[in-house]
Structure 1
Amino acid sequence: MSLTHTEVTAELEPCGKREHPDCGIRDVLDRVGDTWSVLVVVELSSGARRFGELQRAIDGISQRMLTLTLRRLERDGLVERTVSPTIPPQVTYALTDSGSSLTHLIRALADWSIEQRPAIAGARQSYDDAHPGHSIR
């Protein structure tokens, strides 16, 4: 863990206590850790995009899910929606300063994932071999 992480966690009370039921971390991580949110942030990290461009770039996302994800990110102040007064109106989405500050964290997680992929695949195979017929995926 980084020094910064250690400093932050040393100051936080554990979540789940009766007098401290939710320290707020879960709420934020639910948003920024959501698969679709991460992919939207990755796509917008290179600049503003239109809805259709985002949908084509993010494999497997439905129109409804992209709409919900963009609205949630906008509500959280991570994405800005801009409507241009043209006919038909042109809508673009871009990261806010707060959203942009998230990109280095996502990139670090992606780099870690790539680096750890072989070890994780090996651990999964070992687990599967030791527990034949399990349903964990």
Structure 2
Amino acid sequence: MECIFCSIISKNREAAYVYENDRFIAIMDKYPINIGHTLVIPKKHYHTIIDMPVNEVGMLFALTAHLAKAVIKAVNSDGFSIGQNNGEAANQIIPHVHVHIIPRFANDKTRWSSRRFMTFEQLQNVAENIRRYIEPIEIEELV
């Protein structure tokens, strides 16, 4: 079965388009958390964000920030959340990279899921473990 977003990109499935260029589309979420909930999607199919080249990730988030300005003006929101899930355990429902722009309103009662308390020592241990896996990267690669 074809990916839902790939079907939309190939015009085989309808969507309410907000924006399109040669690399990305932005559409309205069919099941929005709030009015104006927009999805920014690369046209090329990538399962998760770590499958994407770093420069494309940068372009995706630059476009997301640019479109967020228009979204918050259009719906007159008090703020916005940016969401991006990777993998089933992270609640990625459609296995094609996409970024959520979710307008937020003062009394919308939409909150992040549960959080946990960790001691500073626990945080330090996790940070140290993460640092072991960070691969070297040149700043030029991020431009």
Q: Which category of TM-score, normalised to the shorter sequence, fits these structures?
A: under 0.3
Greater share of residues in strand: 2
**TM-score by structure 1 length?**
0.22
Bigger Rg over Cα: 1
Higher relative contact order (CA 8 A, sep 6+): 2
Greater share of residues in helix: 1
**TM-score by structure 2 length?**
0.21
